[in-house]
Amino acid sequence: MDAIGRKRWAIAEGYIPSESAFSDRALVSHETACILNAGDNDAQVRITIFFANREPVGPYRVRVQARRTLHLRFNDLDDPQPIPRDADYASVFESDVPIIVQHTRLDSRRAEIALLSTMAYAEA
């Protein structure tokens, strides 16, 4: 398949609630960057996390294999450091090949779940 996507993406919203009404992994409060690499070359992706009151942290490095999707939980990022809970953040993705990035939150602070999703902002 011809490559599809862009190389730079940004998500301005970011907030991982520390609280969850459920303990199983699927329903714990989490934010995800769904990354699709539809092309025939692996993608090396560098993620930078921005905060309200301090310098950005990164790059976090992830590889998305050719013809694969990676639904990356921000909750799981830990190198160079974990993302704090209950704090505002934002993120920028820079890839060496075209990818697509979609942002999702599952919020289970209350007994029922809430969802949000949006395609990220793309450039270049």
Q: Catalog residues that contact a copy of itself under the rule CB under 8 A.
A: 1, 4-5, 8, 10-15, 17, 26-27, 32, 34-36, 38, 48, 50-53, 55-56, 67-71, 86, 88-90, 92, 100-105, 107, 109-123
Cβ proximity to a copy of itself: between 82 and 109 the closer is 109
Contact 102, 59 (CB under 8 A): no
Compute the least distance from the CB of residue 74 to a copy of itself, in Å: 14
Q: How far is CA 107 from the centre of its chain?
A: 15
User: What are the beta bridge partners of residue 44?
Assistant: 63
Compute the least distance from the CB of residue 24 to a copy of itself, in Å: 10
Contact 50, 92 (CB under 8 A): yes
Cβ proximity to a copy of itself: between 56 and 80 the closer is 56
Compute the least distance from the CB of residue 32 to a copy of itself, in Å: 8
Comparing C-alpha atoms, which of 96, 84, 80 is closest to residue 31? Answer: 84
Compute the least distance from the CB of residue 72 to a copy of itself, in Å: 10
CA dist., res. 45 & res. 35, Å (int): 10
